[in-house]
Structure 1
Amino acid sequence: MIFGEVDAGLDEVPGVVSVYAGRLDAPPSWLRHADVTHYAASTMKLAVLAALHRAAEAGRLDPDAPVEIRNRFTSARPDAPPFSCARHEDNDDAVWDRLGKHAPLRWLAERMIVRSSNLATNLVIEHVGLPAVAEVWTLAGARHSVTGRGIEDFAARQAGITNLVTAADLAALLDAVATGATRPGPIATPAGCAAMLDVLRAQQVRQDIAEGLPAGARLAHKNGWVRGVRHGAAVVYPDDADPYLLVVCTTTPLADDQRGDRADAAARRLAADISARVWRARHDLTPAGSPATPPSAPR
């Protein structure tokens, strides 16, 4: 196993580090705790993006029709009052600056990804619905991931309704989108999948996996972070090798910055180091085995 030494080194990292690495449309080359669930943070926005494109292709909504930008959302807990987002927890002033005005859902979906806007995410969820997001996970073949509520729906969170992902499930969704851009797949039409990849390539928060790649390396990706959690999920497109998937999910004290800095440097370096090592092995990403080598149990 070409990543055996790296895997052993990660055993010394506190918490749980999950990794999925391998070429598109192929068995993985490296699995580490790939089926362990983590709090999703903003990686759940990948499934929300796909749900919007599916709804548009089915004619259930027009992504270019203007919708009102408001900060009032339906809780996933049936008996709870509406909830709202906190502007200081968001990363995108552009959406907040339009509060009380109108903007197309397509634009909101882009801001949800490229700047990880929480307000835009909840607006898109309000229009596509959580069942549509669940359908995306099912169609991708995800086994453990769930998007049970919007962001900052604290009443739902207190009731145990949460958002979870695994490295393997995020890889399955990205694989379905990336391969679906070249041939019909389960998530959307090739045109829809290509449009999603364009949004993921336009990502402006180039941290985590992106930081471990050479300057100018092409990737389509989404990351996510909250205190104690730091994730990155990407399709990487080397010029000299086949495209590959890399997902790194970490639930670790390294991401628990007591100063409240969400972009914790140690957790980012960990993801970047894993990314750099996979990049160096990009010509040797052969399947780890059939069936794939199982991850060791987390401590």
Structure 2
Amino acid sequence: MLSVVVAPWAGEAEPVFVREPDELHDAASTMKVAVLAALYRSGVELDAEVPVVNRFASVVGGEFGNDPAWDSDPLPWELVGTAAPLRLLAERMITHSSNLATNLCLAQIDRATVAEAWRRAGATRSASPRGIEDYAARDAGVHNRVSARDLVRLLHSLGGEPELLALLEHNAFRVDLAAGLPPGTRIAFKNGWVPGARHSVGLVHPEDCPPYLIAVCYTGPLASGEDRTDPAARLLARVSAAVWERRGQIGGGIGREIG
């Protein structure tokens, strides 16, 4: 299943190209954008230091922990047993897609605050009600899921929060959407990968036309779960390159199917 939504950044960001825009996919790490928005809007003290632990409350009771083998960022694991500024953890959640940092950030806010981030964005299908690797919750039917349309809406909702968009520009994983753009092109984006799914949502800043939003979600056998060498990452890059070639058309037309 391949879902694509492309929209202008200006105005209400109504899509101009869509393909299966409302199909639900495993959220993977794209849900970290909602966690980031919720954290920054919550009023918590971002420069306060919080204990770096690896035990978290499951939404269905009991506790769970993260597996370092499934995390793409070693830094938070080096801090286990100490304390770290919440701002640093939020940054690593986005720039290096740290699972441990994500759950540490979630532990500082009510999950209703994350739900509000989706609601404020106008999302109609997406939700992230549990932490990453809360397998007991997953087995009980509590899932983090996203649609391409809702990811575009979520990123568009950060328009008045340049600090958050700036963090997304520092994404260390320059694959997926970024790999389909000419070198040096500005893009604020978040990607996510698990075996069987690969997604990315971004705000692209061409030099020759207005910025645009793009979300591509793929669920299928191409997705190996590798962070940089996943074959599905090359698929997302090809879609990104095709949209780039049509970037001058993104200012007009609504809801046209592609592919």
Aligned length: 257
CA contact (8 A) 2:72 2:227 kept: no
CA contact (8 A) 2:173 2:228 kept: no
From 227, 236, 241, the counterpart of 1:271: 236
Structure 2 gaps, min length 5: none
What does 1:1-299 align with in structure 2 at a 5 Å threshold? 16-24=1-9, 25=11, 26-56=13-43, 61-77=44-60, 80-178=61-159, 180=160, 193-255=161-223, 257=224, 261-289=226-254, 292-293=255-256
Pairwise CA distance, 1:153: 0.5
CA RMSD after TM alignment: 1.4
Amino acid in structure 1 at the alignment position of 2:235 = L
Return structure 1 stretches of 4+ with deviation > 4 angstroms: none
Structure 1 gaps, min length 5: 1-15, 181-192
> What per-residue deviation string (whole Å, max 9, x for no partner) do you get for residues 116-148 of structure 1?
000000000010121100000001000000111
CA contact (8 A) 1:28 1:287 kept: no
CA contact (8 A) 2:193 2:226 kept: no
> What per-residue deviation string (whole Å, max 9, x for no partner) do you get for residues 44-102 of structure 1?
0000000011012xxxx20110000000000011xx31110011110111110000111
- Once residues 139 and 220 of structure 2 are traced to their aligned partners in structure 1, the CA distance between those partners, rounded to angstroms, is 22
Rg bigger for which structure?
1
SS in structure 2 of the partner of residue 76 of structure 1: coil
- Once residues 94 and 6 of structure 2 are traced to their aligned partners in structure 1, the CA distance between those partners, rounded to angstroms, is 22
> What per-residue deviation string (whole Å, max 9, x for no partner) do you get for residues 163-193 of structure 1?
0000000000111113x2xxxxxxxxxxxx1
1:12 matched residue in structure 2 = none
SS in structure 2 of the partner of residue 235 of structure 1: strand
CA contact (8 A) 1:34 1:295 kept: no
CA contact (8 A) 2:73 2:92 kept: yes
- Once residues 108 and 153 of structure 1 are traced to their aligned partners in structure 2, the CA distance between those partners, rounded to angstroms, is 19
Q: 1:295 to 1:147 in 2, by over 3 A?
A: farther
- Once residues 265 and 74 of structure 1 are traced to their aligned partners in structure 2, the CA distance between those partners, rounded to angstroms, is 31
SS in structure 1 of the partner of residue 174 of structure 2: coil
Higher helix share: 1
Pairwise CA distance, 1:252: 1.2
CA contact (8 A) 1:227 1:262 kept: no
Pairwise CA distance, 1:239: 1.1
Q: 1:228 to 1:263 in 2, by over 3 A?
A: farther
CA contact (8 A) 2:94 2:190 kept: yes
- Once residues 226 and 91 of structure 2 are traced to their aligned partners in structure 1, the CA distance between those partners, rounded to angstroms, is 24
CA contact (8 A) 1:230 1:250 kept: yes
